[in-house]
């Protein structure tokens, strides 16, 4: 398609003709009269919903007032692609633009999708200024020209993309419900108890190996040695995802070992799917005869509050090897351990299926957005 030809019905419009920048200042957030503050940290990339917020009493300095229907667009670090459509009154960071569609040119429901388009995103990056925290200036954005579809086409695009968004939301609710059900079932299974359930220190039923970071010169990113993990930031959603390797490991997790985060956040778990060198942020828990590693993982997940309580009260929580080894664990016979593991694993399968469906739908939605708004790239 020629870059000089617009699709039928599409017109070139300056951004100031598409949307207005709302600059209602709030100099004292605590006296704003609203209950919610939305910072850039509350906006999720690739989403148009606002699911998190803070309180105006949490912040100081000048903020911007917004109203239901306004779009909060992160003008600072636009490469993060953060925006959200407000469905409540509130105030937001001055590092955002509060945008309001001009309905005779741009449907309010269409504006957030347009802001997510590749054409708008690339232009936003091009006009951002500053090296450390590149930021968009409204005056510069206002005069940028974009190809815009006619109102009836905007409506069609909104209907298609909003249907995809509704499906994603439905799948996410299913995942949330599945996780809540899992937590409730696990709690019920572990509280059943019985005369044949034995309480003991963790070190009596499992080998506990605290991580130790090897010399810095032994790390590499070329795949030499074995994968190295410092903490739970590398756990990934389901399996460990080490970012570097170590040619001279000090402490090693074997395949099937339980990995436990012993530094903030204390209590995160994963199972080693390969031999992994572990640093000081992790511990290995390796079940002895009479106990199952997957069961111990479930027990620790259900009792993470108890683990955290043993990690001290300093700024950076951490649990020592001595405290971890003395942590009390209640273990049923092997047959019951396996039954509990099987029940929870089947529920995990449901949750993971929902997560995969969400990801697949988001990918489909992203492709649909690109195709529907391809004309905006002219």
Do 170 and 178 touch, CB atoms closer than 8 A?
no
CA distance 306 to 329: 11
CA distance 156 to 10: 14
- Judged on CB neighbours under 10 Å (0-12, 13-18, 19+), 324 is buried
Length, in residues, of the chain: 378
Give the pairing type, strands 198-201 and 219-220: unpaired
Backbone angles phi and psi of 122, in degrees to 5 = -65, -40
The total of other beta-carbon atoms located within 10 Å of residue 61's CB is: 10
CA distance 207 to 278: 15
Do 185 and 343 touch, CB atoms closer than 8 A?
yes
CA-atom Rg of the chain in angstroms: 26
Nearest to 355 by CA among 160, 178, 166: 178
What angle in degrees, to the nearest 10, is found between the helix axes of 293-302 and 334-372? 70
The single residue listed with the structure tokens 């450390």 is: 132
Backbone angles phi and psi of 304, in degrees to 5 = -60, -30
- How confident is the model at residue 215, as a pLDDT? 86
Q: Which two tokens stand for residue 148?
A: 């815009």
CA distance 281 to 274: 18
Do 268 and 232 touch, CB atoms closer than 8 A?
yes
At CB < 8 A and 24+ separation, what contacts does 50-58 make?
50/84, 50/85, 50/86, 50/87, 53/90, 56/29, 56/30, 56/32, 56/91, 57/29, 57/30
Domains, the chain, ranges and CATH? 11-149 (3.90.220.20), 198-331 (3.90.220.20)
pLDDT averaged per 10 residues, the chain (length 378): 72 96 96 95 91 94 96 95 96 96 97 94 94 92 96 96 93 92 95 92 96 88 91 84 90 95 90 93 94 95 89 74 94 96 95 92 91 78
């Amino acid at each position: 398609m020629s870059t000089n030809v617009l699709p039928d019905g599409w017109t070139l419009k300056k951004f100031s003709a598409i949307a207005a920048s709302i600059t209602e200042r709030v100099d004292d957030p605590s006296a704003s009269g609203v209950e919610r503050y939305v910072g850039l940290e509350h906006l999720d990339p690739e989403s148009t919903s606002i699911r998190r917020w803070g309180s105006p009493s949490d912040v100081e300095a000048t903020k911007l007032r917004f109203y239901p229907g306004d779009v909060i667009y992160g003008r600072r670090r636009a490469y993060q692609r953060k925006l959200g459509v407000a469905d409540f009154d509130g105030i937001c960071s001055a590092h955002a633009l509060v945008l309001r569609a001009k309905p005779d040119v741009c449907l309010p429901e269409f504006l957030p999708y347009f802001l997510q388009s590749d054409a708008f995103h690339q232009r936003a990056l091009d006009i951002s200024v500053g090296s450390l925290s590149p930021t968009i200036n409204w005056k510069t954005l206002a005069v940028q020209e974009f190809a815009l579809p006619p109102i009836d086409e905007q409506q069609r695009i909104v209907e298609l993309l909003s249907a995809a968004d509704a499906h994603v939301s439905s799948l996410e609710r299913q995942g949330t419900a599945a996780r809540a059900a899992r937590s409730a079932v696990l709690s019920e299974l572990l509280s059943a108890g019985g005369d044949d359930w034995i309480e003991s220190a963790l070190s009596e039923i499992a080998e506990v190996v605290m991580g130790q970071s090897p010399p810095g010169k032994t790390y590499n990113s070329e795949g030499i040695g074995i994968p190295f993990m410092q903490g739970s930031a590398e756990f990934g959603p389901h399996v460990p995802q080490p970012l570097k390797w170590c040619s001279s490991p000090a402490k090693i997790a074997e395949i099937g070992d339980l990995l436990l985060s012993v530094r903030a956040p204390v209590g995160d778990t994963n199972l080693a799917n390969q031999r992994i060198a572990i640093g000081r942020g992790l511990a290995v828990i390796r079940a002895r005869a009479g106990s199952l590693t997957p069961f111990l993982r479930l027990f620790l997940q259900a009792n993470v509050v108890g683990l955290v309580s043993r990690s001290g009260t300093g700024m950076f929580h951490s649990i020592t090897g001595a405290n971890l080894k003395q942590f009390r664990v209640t273990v049923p016979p092997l047959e019951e351990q396996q039954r509990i593991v099987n029940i929870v694993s089947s529920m995990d399968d449901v949750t993971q299926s929902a997560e995969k469906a969400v990801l697949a739908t988001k990918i489909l939605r992203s492709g649909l957005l690109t195709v529907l708004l391809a004309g905006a790239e002219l």
